[in-house]
Chain A
Amino acid sequence: MLTSAVLQAINGVSLAALLFLLASGFTLSFGLMRVVNMAHGAYYLLGGYIGLSIVQKTGSFALALAGGGAAIVVLGYLIDRFLIRRTGENHLAQVLLTVGVAFVLGDVALQIWGGDNLMVPAPAFLKGAVVLPGGVYYPKYRFVLIFLGVIVGLVLWLLYRKTQLGAVVRAGVDDREQVNATGINVDRLFVMVSALASFLAGMAGVAGGAFLTLYPGAEWEILVYALVVVIVGGLGSLEGAMIGALIVGLLDAYGRWLLPEFSYFVLFGPIALLMLFRPRGLFGRDH
């Protein structure tokens, strides 16, 4: 019982690491650009599939992570520049538009990669298990994922809180016009943040594809998890995305273990409670 509880905790934290990769981009692009991009899940899936093809061609997982992310940066830029930008700040229009984009991307992915569950092969040195104290075996890959999540989280946090660039982004979240008026090119800032968000989503697809597998429909499942992370943490907050990812990852792992048929309910509980007491999430503010 105790060992299962520990194993579920690791499961939860490794899912949290993956969710953070996706939710941080989502929350930052909302915070800065006021854009709700429902195609984020499709970015994840497509990034994963592209990474899979790269692994199959070259055998390099690292190249797949970079390539999956980079491909989505290009795609994300085009979608942003030619479609999302035209909706202004109308969230309803953004949601409908990006849902439409996600439908198209999902359909294209289905035509290219088919409808089967595909697993991105992890590199040989990450395969196999680690022996934990107490003689419990645990897949090595999940630990590496946690490590990746922590590194990305740390880098993002340092960039956001400790550098000049981060200060400009934070100022942009607070008051975009004012930042523009001080002579900073806000447009270029937007392109950079949105490229970062796209890269993280594509990379998350490759990382997640190696243990959750890739299949049609995965884009919506992962998106909803990311949305719950963002709702719990507060839209536009990087710290909120970290805490939210941990809460959602752990709740999901324990929910699947203890109440397998109702694991979605276990996620629903905290959202309902939050709405009663803090409708804007833990770190959110009025938008």
Chain B
Amino acid sequence: MEKARIALLLVALAAALALPFTAGPFWTGLVTQMYIFGLLALSVDLLLGHAGLFSLTHASFFAVSAYTVAILHVRYDVPTALAAPAGILAGTLLALVFGLAVRTRGVYFILITIAFGYVVWGVAHRWSSFTGGDNGVTNVPFPAIGAAAITSHTQYYYLVLAAIIVCGLGYRVFMRSPFGLGLRGIKASESRMQSLGFRTSAHLYAAFVLSGALASFAGVLYVYYNKFVNPVAASFPVSVEAALMAIVGGTGTIIGPFLGAAVVLGLRNWVSSFFEMHASIMGAVFIATVLWAPQGLVGIAGRIRARWRKARRG
């Protein structure tokens, strides 16, 4: 990495560490959400930015994992050390089934994942004896492993920050491995990868399951922050907003989805303080992104930098 980038990352890290002391509980809570939804967006981008598959069912893994953790905690009094891994496991198992969708490509993949997402939402919504219906499951405690217990939102903020840093680093290693490079190859030209001897469908299936596992982890972080989960977590808008975040930030990068989450959540928070129709604002963000910033913020930054370099060389 170039020196400027390392310096920028260190400044960002220092700002993130200092945030709870300088900005107060409202901002700490909002930024925690940005981290969590940024991670969800990153999981969507694993398929979108690296494999070229546009999934609209990631809220399913997110919500199934959140429900599993919530139900185990609240109804069965299971400790975090078991409940959290069980949540990730449940979401990942669902991804093993929904991974069937990689038999299709393009529009069919998009449409089928939307339909899958609705199955999960429908079950959360209608199977009220188990999921609590529209009220969902409430009173989820903070996580605690043995004597180490989280007791405040500030502490939880640091836990989430640590979690996304670990995920980001792991993601980076993974995407630079032969596996990640293979995905990029499939995105660029699937038929070429096939003729090179890659079993592209198996490769994409593995990526789908991995991406589902990452979304499930985001679901675990979400339910401990939110303290409850209801069918909204499984709904189509969550899936499509996660994809929007990845695109607004810039696909195929690690920082992009988090930037996108910050923009989308920040904008919604700001706008809803003075304007009632925030769904329209979200809609406008979708439209504007497609028409004017399809490469996202990272793309815009890249263009500005290229222009600046050209001017300097001049």
Give 1 or 0 for each of A259-287: 1 = CB within 8 Å of chain B CB.
01111110110011001100111001001
> Complex formed: what's the CA distance from A231 to B54 in Å?
16
> Complex formed: what's the CA distance from A275 to B107 in Å?
14
A99: Cβ under 8 A from any B Cβ: yes
> Complex formed: what's the CA distance from A261 to B127 in Å?
5
A92: Cβ under 8 A from any B Cβ: yes
A96: Cβ under 8 A from any B Cβ: yes
> Complex formed: what's the CA distance from A231 to B112 in Å?
7
B114: Cβ under 8 A from any A Cβ: yes
Q: Of B121, B123, B247, which one neighbours A262 at CB under 8 angstroms?
A: B123
Given contacts A106-B279, A260-B126, contact A96 B115 (CB under 8 A): no
How far, in Å, is B64 (CB) from chain A's closest CB?
14
> Complex formed: what's the CA distance from A99 to B119 in Å?
19
> Complex formed: what's the CA distance from A231 to B106 in Å?
13
Please give, as numbers and ranges, the residues of chain B lying within 8 Å of A267 by CB-CB distance: 115, 119
Given contacts A230-B111, A267-B119, A279-B104, contact A87 B236 (CB under 8 A): no
> Complex formed: what's the CA distance from A238 to B234 in Å?
32
A154: Cβ under 8 A from any B Cβ: no
> Complex formed: what's the CA distance from A261 to B56 in Å?
23
How far, in Å, is A3 (CB) from chain B's closest CB?
25
How far, in Å, is B257 (CB) from chain A's closest CB?
15
Given contacts A30-B107, A227-B114, A260-B126, contact A96 B280 (CB under 8 A): no
Interface secondary structure of A, over-half rule:
helix
A36: Cβ under 8 A from any B Cβ: yes
With most chain B CB atoms within 10 A of its CB, the pick from A92, A93, A262 is A92
Taking a contact as CB atoms under 8 Å apart, the answer to whether A97 and B291 are in contact is: yes
Taking a contact as CB atoms under 8 Å apart, the answer to whether A280 and B118 are in contact is: no
B277: Cβ under 8 A from any A Cβ: yes
How far, in Å, is A55 (CB) from chain B's closest CB?
26
A103: Cβ under 8 A from any B Cβ: yes
Interface size class of A (residues with CB under 8 A): 35 or more
Taking a contact as CB atoms under 8 Å apart, the answer to whether A262 and B127 are in contact is: yes
With most chain A CB atoms within 10 A of its CB, the pick from B104, B116, B286, B291 is B286
Taking a contact as CB atoms under 8 Å apart, the answer to whether B118 and A264 are in contact is: yes
Taking a contact as CB atoms under 8 Å apart, the answer to whether A101 and B122 are in contact is: no
Q: Output the nearest chain B residue to A228 by Cβ-Cβ distance.
A: B115
> Complex formed: what's the CA distance from A275 to B105 in Å?
11
Please give, as numbers and ranges, the residues of chain A lying within 8 Å of B123 by CB-CB distance: 261-262, 264-265
Taking a contact as CB atoms under 8 Å apart, the answer to whether A101 and B115 are in contact is: no
How far, in Å, is A267 (CB) from chain B's closest CB?
7
How far, in Å, is A219 (CB) from chain B's closest CB?
11
Please give, as numbers and ranges, the residues of chain A lying within 8 Å of B285 by CB-CB distance: 100
B283: Cβ under 8 A from any A Cβ: yes
Taking a contact as CB atoms under 8 Å apart, the answer to whether A108 and B280 are in contact is: yes
Taking a contact as CB atoms under 8 Å apart, the answer to whether B103 and A101 are in contact is: no
Taking a contact as CB atoms under 8 Å apart, the answer to whether A93 and B294 are in contact is: yes
B301: Cβ under 8 A from any A Cβ: no
Taking a contact as CB atoms under 8 Å apart, the answer to whether B280 and A107 are in contact is: yes
> Complex formed: what's the CA distance from A264 to B117 in Å?
10
How far, in Å, is A190 (CB) from chain B's closest CB?
18
Given contacts A96-B289, A224-B118, A262-B123, contact A104 B54 (CB under 8 A): no
A241: Cβ under 8 A from any B Cβ: no
Taking a contact as CB atoms under 8 Å apart, the answer to whether A101 and B100 are in contact is: no
Give 1 or 0 for each of B282-299: 1 = CB within 8 Å of chain A CB.
111111011100100000
- Nearest first, the 3 closest Cβ-Cβ pairs linking A and B are A100-B286, A264-B122, A103-B283
Known: A104-B284, A275-B101. 5 other contacts (CB 8 A): A87-B290, A231-B108, A264-B118, A267-B119, A280-B104
Q: List 9 A-B contacts (CB under 8 A).
A: A91-B106, A99-B283, A100-B287, A103-B282, A104-B279, A107-B280, A261-B129, A275-B104, A275-B112
